[in-house]
Amino acid sequence: MFARNLLRLVSRIALAATLALTMPASFGEATTEAQLKAAYLVNFLKYVEFPGTRATVNLCLFGRDSLGPYLAGYEGRQVGGRELRIRRVNSPEQIADCQELFIPDTEEARLAAVLRWVDKQPILTVSDAETFTREGGGIALIRSEGRLQFEVNVEALTRAGLRASPQMLRLAKPMTSAAR
């Protein structure tokens, strides 16, 4: 039993390190919140199952995002055996080819409309808007307890035909009762 608990602890630490720290930053450079958000976005793609197979995976940035420069270093990398492409989008037609869609909190006024555009499509929606999961989004990047954490709306992922790994769900901050 001790060995099993130790193995679980080691796997959780490894997953947490992978989710939070794998980013193209120079040695000794301070990690900014934007860099952490970019790393989370890329790593979520490793821990969410998408239907079908593709040679590429498109991480799309909606509207006025500020993460583009931090994601540029990931462009062309392999994520889950697929080449990562970063794209900017602004309309429903452009979103159709996205596997992950980041909607920044600066676009909160258009949040409900964007969620309607992607409803029941196999697109992982992520935002740093605090109320995102309560409004039907998939994953919210939130500041809690002095650090960047994430909250997963399993129902939203299920509606989109996606499945988060159990390891990812264990690391997620529990949704509040108001968010369910």
| Domain count for the chain | 1
Q: Which domain holds residue 172?
A: 2-179
Predicted TM-score (pTM) of the model is 0.81
Per-residue tens of pLDDT for the chain, all 180 residues = 434 443 343 344 344 444 444 444 443 445 899 999 999 999 999 999 999 878 899 999 999 878 999 999 999 999 988 999 999 999 999 998 999 999 999 998 999 999 999 998 999 999 999 899 999 999 999 998 889 999 999 999 999 999 999 999 999 988 765 544
Residue for token pair 């040695």: 27
Q: Report the CATH number that the domain containing residue 108 is assigned in CATH.
A: 3.40.50.2300
Cβ–Cβ contacts within 10 Å for residue 142, how many? Answer: 18
Phi, psi of 112 (to 5 degrees): -60, -40
